[in-house]
Each structure stands twice: as C-alpha cells, then as structure tokens.
Structure 1
Amino acid sequence: MSSDPSQAAALIAAKRAEVLAKLARFQNSNAASPRPTPSPPVSTPPPSTQPATSSPVSGLSLSEIQRKKNEVMNRIKAGGHQINQRAAAPPPMPLDSSGNFDLRAMLDKGIIPKRETELKANTRLVSSPSKQSPTGSTKSTPPSTTSKPNTLKIESTPESFTDPTKNPYYDPSLPVNNAPKGRRARTSLRFVQPGKYIEKANQERAKAQLERLKEEVAAKVRQAGMEAEMDISDKTLKKDPPPVAEWWDVPFLPNQDYQDLNVHVVDPQQLTSLITSYVHHPVPIQAPSEMNGKPPSRALMLTKKERKKLRRQRRNETQKDKQDKIRLGLLPPDPPKVKISNLMKVLGDSAIQDPTKVEAKVRKEMEERQKQHEKANEQRKLTPAERREKLKSRMANDQSSGNEVAVFK
C-alpha cells in the first residue's frame, strides 16, 4: 500500500535529526575524556535533493533504522581504535653490544619490513590441507590436472650479459657455465677382510728370513775366499744337472756315456776324420813392439804451468851460456837495447845535448829490431809441403816404436 510522500519525507528528516543528536552527544563525551587528539567528526551523507520516489513505508521501519544506527556506532568505534593505535608510543630501537643499531633484531621484530621474494626458484608448492567446517563437513579442493615439479630451472645467459657495450664488467676470456656442478658420488663403506693384515705380516717375516739367509751365504763365501761374482739373489734360476754325455762327445761314445772311455779305446783314425780336418793353424806373426825391441817409455804429460816453467828455465840457460861466451871474448857484446822509456837512463848527457837527433836514432833502432824479429819468424815458418813431410815423418817414427791399441770388453 502507498502513503503520502510528504509524510515519508518528514519521518526520514526526524530520524536523521535524532541520529545527529546522538552523534553530537558522543563527540562531547569523547572531548571531555583525557585523550591527546579529538576524534574526527563522522561525515554524514548530505540530504538528497532529488524528489523522493514512491516507496513502501515498510522499508523505513524501526528495525531498519536501528540497524543503520548500529552500523554508524561501529564505524565510530573502529575510528577511535585506530586513533588509539596511532597515539601509541613506537617500540624502542634494538641496539647491539657496541651501541649500534641491530638490523637483524629490527628485522625479526617487524620494524624493518621483510621483502617478499618474487623468484620462482625460491617459492614452494605447498598443497593446502583440506579445511574442515565446524559442522564436520570437509571442503576439499579439486586436484590440479597439471602439476609442476618443484625443480630449479636454469635459465640461459641473456645476450645483454655477454654484450660488452651493455655490460662493461663482462670478461670474454672467462667461461660462462650455467650447468650446475654435479654431486660427487657417495662411496660405499669398505671393510677390511679378515686375515688381510695377518697375511701381510707373514709375507714380511718370510722376506726378512730370506734376507738373513742371503747374508749368511755371503758371509760363508767371504770366509771361503771366493770373493767372485756369485749370484745369491732370489732370482737365480735353478740349473739342470749336467748331462751324462755332451752332444759333441756322443759320436765317440758307443753307449753315450763317459764310462765307455775306460772300456773302449778311441780310434785315432776316427778322430782324424771327424776333428783334425777342421783344425786350422794360422801363421804366427811377431808383434811390432817385439820386432823393434823394448818400447820406449812415454813422455810425462805436463800441465800448462809446468811447460811454461821449463821453457823459462831453458831460456835462462841459453842466455847464461851466451853471457859466458861474451865474457870470454868469443862473441861481440850486444848493442844496448835503447827505448823511449829508458832513453835518459842509457844515454845520459848525450841525450841532453841533442834530444831530437837521439830520439830519431832510438826510434830507428826500435823499427829495425821489430823488422828483424818478424823476418826471423817468417824464416822459421814451414811451407805447406814441408809441414806435410814433417807430419809423415812423425807418423813413421811413431809406428816404428810400436802401435798402442785400447781394447774394451
């Protein structure tokens, strides 16, 4: 049924005024209490300027008005609780032993918000358990048709990473390997077999006993005076006993035994036919050292220092003989050997009277001595033909005294 629109509008205005009055009283009570900040006024919707449409009066019943009132009160209470939360004092900053901020403790208390990861490699696919309603009925989610395994996917290296223009820190000399390192295979347990070390100990004892036997045999050999090359190593092969008759004596033994020599006499004609025809006696040749008598003794090899000493001694002896002949008058004395360095010491006053003439004379004598020395060296030199003849004669003399041969085994 319908009523007059003017009556409905009057009823709505009355209820609105009642609600605003209650709201004002609530705000006054909050202002009287000791609170740091007053509660913000609740904004009410402005009255509609549109004409009210015809609606049933049952839509504006007292129960509906009471419900709206309760909603407004709940919103006011929620706003006051938020104000109280904002007014609460912030928690103290945690500090470490050195007096600095402890970031780990701040992260645990929630002062620093945790960053949620967005990488698929770090997420876990955890299936949510079935929820059970308070009434006992279970709500199970339908199984997914496409289940993805929880595996780590290795992405390939992007081109921008290996591009030097985009990545200045990339080193082309270093290899880029995306493959994960393989795990080392787990080795199984290896137990010691029973008697393994006992067998090793027995082998060592046998080896030590063999070494003692070798030392005893070597000592007996030395005591017997047989210091020769006797192989007593464990690698020595056991030789077979000697045969009854050697193969080269078998044709002369009827029974192939050396006892036949005492019974049967060997025919010399048979020996001649079998052995003598193969015997050859070469013509003996006397050794060259025996032909020329006893070989001369070899000269003693001297060092370079010793050869210089002998040469110096021979030169001193020759100079001494020459000086003796000069003293006896057999040889004229040598002219003084004047040089620029001993010019004043040898000539004395004559060099002071005309030094230019004396210097020219001394230089001329020095040149003559140098030329004479070079001429003597040239005269002592042998021509190539004379040098070859000298070498041939030396080789002939060496062969006449004997040939020395070194023989190695």
Structure 2
Amino acid sequence: MADVSGNVLKRPHPEDEDNNAQKRSRSNNGSPLPGASGGPAAGKVDIEKMVAEARAKAEAVRARLQAARGGTPSSATPSPSPAPPAASPAMSRLEQMKARVAAATGRANAAAQQRAAAPPPLTYQTPQYDDEGLQKARGGLDVGLHPALLSDIGQDARGSKGRQAMQPKFATTMANRRTESPVPAAEAKKPQLDLSGPSIEEMKKNPYFDPNIGSKNVVPKPRHSRQLIFNQKGKYIQQAAALRRQAQLEEMKKRIAERARQAGIDEDLDVEKAFLVPAPPAVEWWDEGLVNGSDYSAIDDPKNLKIDTPDSIITIYIQHPVLLDPPQDKHIPPQKPMYLTPKEQAKLRRQRRMADLKEQQAKIRLGLEPAPPPKVKKSNIMRVLGEEAVKDPTAVEARVNREIAERKEKHEAMNEERKLTKEQRREKLATQQEKDAEKGIYVSVYRIDSLANGRHRFKISKNAEQQALTGVCIMHPRLNLVIVEGGGHSINAYKKLMLNRIDWTENAGPSTTSDGQPQTPASWLSPEDEKGQLKDLSQNTCTLLWEGQEKARAFRKWLGARVCETDAQAKDVLARAKMENFWILAKSSKTAAA
C-alpha cells in the first residue's frame, strides 16, 4: 500500500513502536542514514519497565496463593532476584531480543497463575470458567470440553512443578457439590430455551391434539396404585368342602345306576322311553327368525312378524337351493372298457388258452384226468399214424373222417346248449326294456295326415308293442295322432320307424281278414275311394310334434288304435291321461301347415 507521496508503508520496527516512526529510507549510496541519537536509549528504558511490571504481577499472584493456603507471605515469598544490569548504549541487537522474550514470558506466567488461583485448592469442585469465549472456542457447536481435557488451563506446565498437585475437576461426593453454581452475567442475561411440553390444560383446549398418538412424556398418565386384596378366612376350606360333596354325589349316582342295572330296571325304562312321543316345540326352528315371540300365538299381532322389518332373515337377495343329483343319474350304465385291437384280442386268447393247457397237463401228470386221444386230421395222418397209414390207408382214412365228424357234432351241440330259448330271449328283452325305462320315461307325439293304408296302422301298433311302449293312436277323419312313451332306447327306435323306415306315400290296397275277406273300416280309413280306385297318398306326411321327458307313465299299456269321429271323442280318450293339449297342438299345426 502506498501513500500520496509514493513512499511504501511498512510495519513499524519494534524499537520505534513508542515513537511511531517509519523505517528509515534507504539511501542511494547503499548504507542507511544515521538514526537519531535517542533511539536505542529509549528502547532500553521500555524493556526494563515491562520486565519490572511483570515481576510485580508475579509477586502479587504468589502472595494471594500463599494467603489462600494459610502460610505467611513473608516466609513464602522468595527473595527478589537482583535486577539485571542496565543496558548499555552499546548493547547488541541479540541481547535486546532476549530481554524482550523474557518480558513476554513473565507476563504469560503471571496470567496463568491468576487463572489457576481462582478455584479453591482444598475442595474438589466442578470447575467454573470465567472465560466463556475460551470454553466455546475449545469445543465445536458451542459445546464445552470435558473437564478432564481442561487441565492445561488451570496451571502452567513450565513453572508449576512443586507448587500444587494436580486435582480432579469434578465433585466426588454429593456433599462437595455446590448448591449454587456461579453463572456468568452474560449467560444469566441470555434467554434459555423452554424444553418442557405443553401443560394438560393447554392440551385439552387444543381441538387438534390426539392423545392416542402423543408421546408418553407429553401426556402423563396417572398411575393408580392397586390395593391389596386379602382372602377371607375359610374361603379355600369351603371350596374343598364343596368339591368333596360333589364327588360324594357322583359316587352315589354311580352306585344307584349299578344297582338299577343289576335289577333290570334300566331296561324297562329304556323300553318305555322308546314309545314316548316328544311334545312339539312351541316354535319350530325354521320359524324362530320370523316370529317375535316364544310361541305361535304371537303371530296374531302383525307387529310380531319379522318379514318386512330390517332384522328379518328375508332379504332382496336370492338364495339358491342346494342342487340335488338327478334321479336318473343313478341308472346310468357304467362306462364300457376301451375296445381292444385284433392283435390284442389274439394275444389275450393265446395267453388264456396256454394257461388252460398248462392246467390240464398238470392234472394229467397227477392222474386226475386221462390223457386225451391224439387229434388226427387229414393233414397229419402220416405223422401221427405212420405205420398204420402205410399198412391200411383206407381204414385209417375212414377212422380220421369219423373223428372229424364227431368233433364237429360235439362243437355244434355245445353251441346249441349255450343258445337261449325263445322264452329266455323274450325274458332277456323284457329285462333290458325295463332297465331302459328305469333310466327315465321319454314321450314323443306324431301327427299323420292319413292312415288309409292298413299296413301303416299295423306297423304303428306292432312296433309299439315290441318296444314295450305305452300310449294310443287316435284316428280322426281330419288327422291322426300317435302318442308313445317308454325308455330312451325304445323311443329312439320308434322314432326312426316313424320318420325314416315307413313310406307314408305308399298305398298297398285293401287289407284282408284271416278268412280272406276284405275288412270294412270307416270310409275315410279305406284305401280306396268311392270309385274303387286307390287313394292318392303322395302328399301324406308324418310330423314329430313334441318330444321330451316325463316323471312317470301316463298310460298303463298300449291302447292301440282308437277311432274317434269327433273332436270330443278324441279329447275324452286323451283326458284320461291328461294329454288333451296334444290334440289342440295337432289341430293348430294342421291349420298352420294348410
């Protein structure tokens, strides 16, 4: 930094501090200008003055320490050291620096002794610090250091040997603690943070405070002391007496029951109980949720009915009943095994025949059966009967032909024995039809335009009887109605007959009786018209009106063909089976077709 004149401003020399003079400017010739004559003398006077002041302060500190320890200051005060000789004007620069360092050291020792003399030496107390800035500067975040780390503050490490032993910086007993710790004035004036929580009154007034999520320290809960509960005298004695009485009663009941069992009284009681009819309940369990009362007399008042009330068990929701298995499912035949291929069938037959042959051979070896004669054929004559065939070939050939015929007759006889008779086949068919009907009753209704051909009427009735179907055939001048009911297999066979096998457009001529005379049915059932010519049945059709399943049969047997001239007669025949609606259905379908 330069002044206005351009000279460089520098730090003043230590010797010229008091005079506050600038450093001498260097001459151009290379040597400094001679200074004032009074400069060195003034510097020497200052050093002596500082040393004297430092020694005086040190003596004062020693006197206070001795007074606090209880000693006399005269005996404890050491003799003053002789003053150093006055500095000569010709004192070298090195000597001046040493004197200055000695003066600074004396001042530092005096300050350290003053700080060490502050706490009482005879009691262990918590250290008090007058210099708050020093404490905060030694620790971070304005936190003071631990007392064990502040030992270098209370005494000087260089000159305190033998003066005072190191003492702890904290109280060791409760009695030595100060009741009132001195607080610096700066700290006393400084406001402190209130860490206490809100009071109970403030929390009750706060509408947004929730005590459930608050801290336990914020909301103190009162602690209730539990009182001592003493058992009354004789409490457990009474309990033991009650248990003993109960055990005696149980034992007495067992003895009475044993005696009654021995006397036979128990059996009589059981027999009587079996014939007793229990009394009906006042309210059935399925009505308890609908009646507000103990018996059915409460339903006289409509208010006691729980049907439209909010607590009723009847709601707007749909309750689906438990699904029951259909009754026809139990009649479903078991599933057939998978069919075998021809190779698999031949393999099984071969294995079965081999097992039978081994069994037969074992019986022959044991003598249980005679050995079978050799099976001679024309292809193995020479191998089986070699010598005999050579001697008499004609007799051997006749013998072989006779054995072949016997084996054939035996085989055919066995087949005839296994074959069912005519009665057995009829019974077997009836059994199968009954089993088919047990699986479910099916109904089919057919409408036929004309039954003028007698063969059609015969086939309708005969097949219904053979298939064990029940029903009726209504013959009317306008239409014909056939209703059949039976098992599923029989109905399917009859359906194929009515819709596929019978040619309804065929007219074979008039039917004859057993005597060979032509039958004389009604005119509208005759295959010939008034002129004696065959009727044209090319437009004759058979239609399936309805088919479905019923719970039971409506007809007891096959009623055969019924001739009904009017609608009333047809309805009377069907009304017995409650199927007159099918006649109306047949007439409506006829009208719609027309």
TM range (shorter): under 0.3
* TM-score (normalizing by structure 1): 0.26
* TM-score (normalizing by structure 2): 0.18
The structure where strand makes up a greater share of residues is 2
